[in-house]
């Protein structure tokens, strides 16, 4: 939960995994905000970043 536990009342919080597996809708307009609060180790963070880039079809 990390820092998101301090989100204002009424804020819609959707886990990233739900969006990536198409179980929940992500951003729907430019006013929506995406927040990634990683509390893993560096290797985990890099792996998640690479997986997201691959999902978005962005090559390095």
The neighbour count for residue 31, using CB atoms within 10 Å, is 6
Assessment of whether the complete model's pTM goes beyond 0.75: no
The confidence band for 1, taking pLDDT boundaries of 50, 70 and 90, is low
Give me the mean pLDDT over the 7-28 stretch: 86
DSSP at 13: -
Q: How far is CA 14 from CA 25, 27, 31, 45, in A?
A: 8, 10, 16, 19
- Residue 11 CA to residue 28 CA, distance in Å, equals 15
Residue 52: CB partners within 8 Å, gap ≥ 6?
Answer: 20
Calculate the average pLDDT of the chain.
82
- Residue 37 CA to residue 32 CA, distance in Å, equals 16
């Amino acid at each position: 939960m990390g820092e998101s536990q301090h989100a204002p009342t009424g804020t819609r919080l959707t886990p990233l995994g739900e969006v990536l597996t198409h179980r929940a809708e992500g951003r729907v307009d430019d006013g929506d905000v995406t927040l990634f609060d990683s509390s893993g180790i560096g290797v985990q963070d890099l792996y998640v970043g690479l997986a997201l880039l691959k999902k978005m079809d962005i090559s390095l």
